Homo-oligomer: A and B are copies of this chain.
Amino acid sequence: MKYSALLTDLYELTMMQGYFLRNNNPRVSFDMFFRRNPFSGGFTVFAGLGDLIDILQHFSFDREVIEYLDTLSLFRPEFLDYLLNFRFQGDLYAMEEGSIAFPGEPLVRVEGKLIESQLIESMLLNTLNFQSLIASKAARIYHASKEGKILEFGLRRAQGWDGAISASRAAFIGGAAATSNTLAGKLFNIPVKGTMAHSWVMAFPSELESFRSFAEVYPDNCILLIDTYDTLGSGIENAIITGKEMKAKGKPIGVRLDSGDLSYLSQKIRSRLDDEGLQDCTITVSNDLNEEIIHQLVSDGAPIDAWGVGTHLVTGGSESSLTGVYKLGAKDNGRIMEPTMKISNNAEKTTLPGMKQIYRFYDKDGFAMADLMALTDEEIVAGKSWEFYHPMYETARFTLDHYGSVEPMLKKQMAEGKPLSKPEELSTIQERVKSNLKRLDRTYKRIINPHIYKVSVSKKLKQLKQALLEAAKVENLE
């Protein structure tokens, strides 16, 4: 599916025209960041960058779109002509896709002309907010399952086609092993998996006949759904008959449970299977699973081999959006990139001014200790001690002098509208998530009530924020 630049909020276009007509188009710097981790969790997985870069490269308005805009009686001909030739030519700095991110820190910094940087806001947020939400959910589910086999089965409950396709992409990044979404499999080279529906079982004269028929057609991919009529009464017994027939041919089977108490049933089923010599028969479960339920089942010692997760994985469940925003940090005043900030009556909505870099400090064992946000003209290097200031509270600060290494998190990804490297394979990004999560202490990965990872600001950034707040107060008093 091709991206249309018209997939934007109208106000981006009206603001663009305003800047265009007033000839107000200085170089600017925008930050994309979010204010809290989703799912009351301790971390967020940054995802969507690959799609973002792809869209930015091809971001343009065709004649049909221009004709539609003309019908709105809002836009002047010279601006519509300008749009027809519009291309994004800014620079993009971003964390690597699959990085672990925390509240308040820019995941992306866009540097470019005001018009182009503003225009891309809605699309950038749509892409990064959703995919980061789902990659984070997937990582939580993968962690709760103790790095088990997660099958993403969400298409039917996803929010539209792309709600499904992008979710499959992001879920794989976050740790899912496979998807049921065949189109996503094709587009992103994700393994595709599936079992059978209750309707398969009901489409045959008997449950046993439906199982045997399936085994005959799919001897190497035979997972039987055993809860259509009576799980322990008929389902498992018919599966055992079929499983023994297949075992005789050297083909192991699996069973799937989609209802009932999964802890109780999986244990009953495991022992029936083992009693019948079907130790290699796997148990897959599904039915409105999320990370809390999986965590509980794993703690219970339920003998489950694979987890089919749908709704919660592809929509976020009770938390359906990441609260990412896109805020102006600096603009060229003719001399310098002058820092700007939004000052809110709500301290949490007050933004951090300037062009910023994030530095992740690791201990000597390679575990992440804390992040420091600093201005891009500061030189934060290892081997020195650094002061960490709380981004909001006046008095909270600490000094870090015993640490192993420092990593600047934002890397240049596009220069003048062109990507600086080839698109990454999704499996590479998935591996990065896994390896990054290994460098995060388990207290931050706790499913419920995790430890809060510290994100601080440098002394210089703190002072800049204070100075701008003071200046604004004086201005309002005038």
Chain A contacts to B: CB under 8 angstroms: 1-4, 6-15, 17-19, 21-22, 24, 28, 30, 65, 68-69, 72, 74, 114, 118, 121-122, 125-127, 129-130, 153, 155-167, 180-183, 185-186, 192-200, 202-204, 213-214, 217-218, 221, 227-231, 233-234, 259-260, 311, 315-324, 326-328, 331, 340-346, 349, 472, 475-476
What are 21 A-B residue pairs whose CB atoms fall within 8 Å in the complex? A1-B1, A6-B186, A7-B161, A8-B155, A8-B181, A18-B214, A24-B204, A30-B199, A68-B185, A125-B156, A126-B161, A129-B157, A130-B163, A156-B324, A158-B163, A160-B165, A198-B342, A199-B327, A229-B342, A259-B344, A260-B346
From the candidates B159, B194, B475, name the one contacting A167 in the complex (CB within 8 A). B159
Separation of A60 and B162 alpha carbons in the complex (Å): 19
From the candidates B9, B186, B344, name the one contacting A181 in the complex (CB within 8 A). B9
Known contacts A28-B203, A130-B159: A22-B315 contact under CB 8 Å: no
Separation of A343 and B229 alpha carbons in the complex (Å): 5
Closest 8 A-B residue pairs measured CB to CB? Answer: A11-B194, A160-B162, A10-B194, A125-B156, A315-B320, A162-B162, A159-B159, A163-B163
A129 contacts across to B, CB distance below 8 A = 156-157
Separation of A200 and B15 alpha carbons in the complex (Å): 7
Known contacts A114-B203, A349-B259: A9-B161 contact under CB 8 Å: no
Least CB distance, A274 to chain B, in whole angstroms: 22
A259:B186 contact, CB within 8 angstroms:
no
Known contacts A118-B197, A161-B3, A328-B199: A227-B345 contact under CB 8 Å: yes
Question: Other than the known A15-B199, A259-B349, what 14 A-B pairs have Cβ atoms closer than 8 Å?
Answer: A1-B1, A7-B183, A11-B197, A21-B217, A68-B185, A126-B160, A126-B164, A129-B157, A159-B166, A160-B161, A199-B328, A229-B472, A230-B345, A320-B320
From the candidates B10, B157, B213, name the one contacting A185 in the complex (CB within 8 A). B10
Interface centre among A127, A155, A259 (most CB of B within 10 A): A155
A14:B194 contact, CB within 8 angstroms:
yes
Separation of A65 and B8 alpha carbons in the complex (Å): 30
From the candidates B10, B15, B327, B340, name the one contacting A182 in the complex (CB within 8 A). B10
Separation of A318 and B320 alpha carbons in the complex (Å): 7
Q: Which residue of B lies closest to A204 (CB)?
A: B24
Least CB distance, A241 to chain B, in whole angstroms: 14
Separation of A119 and B466 alpha carbons in the complex (Å): 61
Least CB distance, A131 to chain B, in whole angstroms: 8
B203:A331 contact, CB within 8 angstroms:
yes
A196 contacts across to B, CB distance below 8 A = 11, 14-15
Q: Which residue of B lies closest to A221 (CB)?
A: B74
Least CB distance, A346 to chain B, in whole angstroms: 5
From the candidates B68, B118, B192, B230, name the one contacting A343 in the complex (CB within 8 A). B230
Least CB distance, A273 to chain B, in whole angstroms: 19
B192:A10 contact, CB within 8 angstroms:
yes
A182:B230 contact, CB within 8 angstroms:
no
Interface centre among A14, A327, A349 (most CB of B within 10 A): A14
A8 contacts across to B, CB distance below 8 A = 155, 181-183
Least CB distance, A212 to chain B, in whole angstroms: 10
Q: Which residue of B lies closest to A310 (CB)?
A: B321
Separation of A22 and B15 alpha carbons in the complex (Å): 61
A3 contacts across to B, CB distance below 8 A = 161
Least CB distance, A26 to chain B, in whole angstroms: 8
Least CB distance, A32 to chain B, in whole angstroms: 10
Known contacts A121-B156, A328-B199: A260-B180 contact under CB 8 Å: no
B186:A9 contact, CB within 8 angstroms:
no
A118 contacts across to B, CB distance below 8 A = 197, 199
Known contacts A7-B183, A10-B193, A221-B74: A126-B114 contact under CB 8 Å: no
A340:B10 contact, CB within 8 angstroms:
no
Separation of A341 and B230 alpha carbons in the complex (Å): 12
A158 contacts across to B, CB distance below 8 A = 126, 130, 159, 163, 321
A213:B22 contact, CB within 8 angstroms:
yes
Separation of A7 and B183 alpha carbons in the complex (Å): 5
Q: Which residue of B lies closest to A8 (CB)?
A: B182
From the candidates B9, B195, B344, name the one contacting A227 in the complex (CB within 8 A). B344
